[in-house]
């Protein structure tokens, strides 16, 4: 028996989320862990906060998180498949015009 290459999965769920830092917004995307969509977003937001504190990233969202008084996040959509999720993220960024996404 020869080893067969496994076909890449394209059926994962991806979560599009909105992060609100004080009065500014950020649209992001993360992989869903099971059906715990809000929990998956919480973990991703914690990663943003860690990067802001530890890695000194110069990204707009990280700078905003360093001085934040109010941080909120919500699930906007759940999209199946990587390509579709990234396409939808671009559409949401274009239509919602978030202030913290770097362009």
Q: Give the tens place of pLDDT for each residue, 35-87.
A: 899 999 999 999 998 888 898 778 899 889 988 899 999 999 999 999 999 99
∠ CA 44-48-49 to the nearest 5 degrees? 115
Q: Give the tens place of pLDDT for each residue, 5-34.
A: 766 655 799 999 999 999 999 999 999 988
Q: Where are the domains of the chain?
A: 13-96
At 102 the pLDDT is 82
At 2 the pLDDT is 55
Answer yes or no: is pLDDT of 103 > 70. Answer: no
- Cα distance between the two ends of the chain: 49
Q: Give the tens place of pLDDT for each residue, 73-92.
A: 999 999 999 999 999 999 99
pTM above 0.75, yes or no: yes
Nearest-angstrom CA–CA distance, 50 and 69? 16
């Amino acid at each position: 028996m020869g080893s067969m290459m496994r076909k890449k999965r394209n059926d994962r769920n991806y979560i599009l989320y909105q992060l609100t830092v004080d009065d500014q917004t950020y649209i992001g995307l993360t992989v869903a862990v099971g059906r715990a969509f809000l929990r998956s977003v919480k973990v991703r937001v914690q990663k943003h906060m860690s990067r802001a504190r530890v890695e000194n990233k110069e990204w707009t969202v990280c700078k905003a998180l360093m001085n934040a008084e109010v941080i909120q996040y919500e699930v906007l959509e759940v999209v199946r498949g990587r390509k579709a999720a990234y396409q939808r993220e671009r559409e949401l960024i274009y239509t919602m015009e978030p202030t913290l996404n770097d362009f």
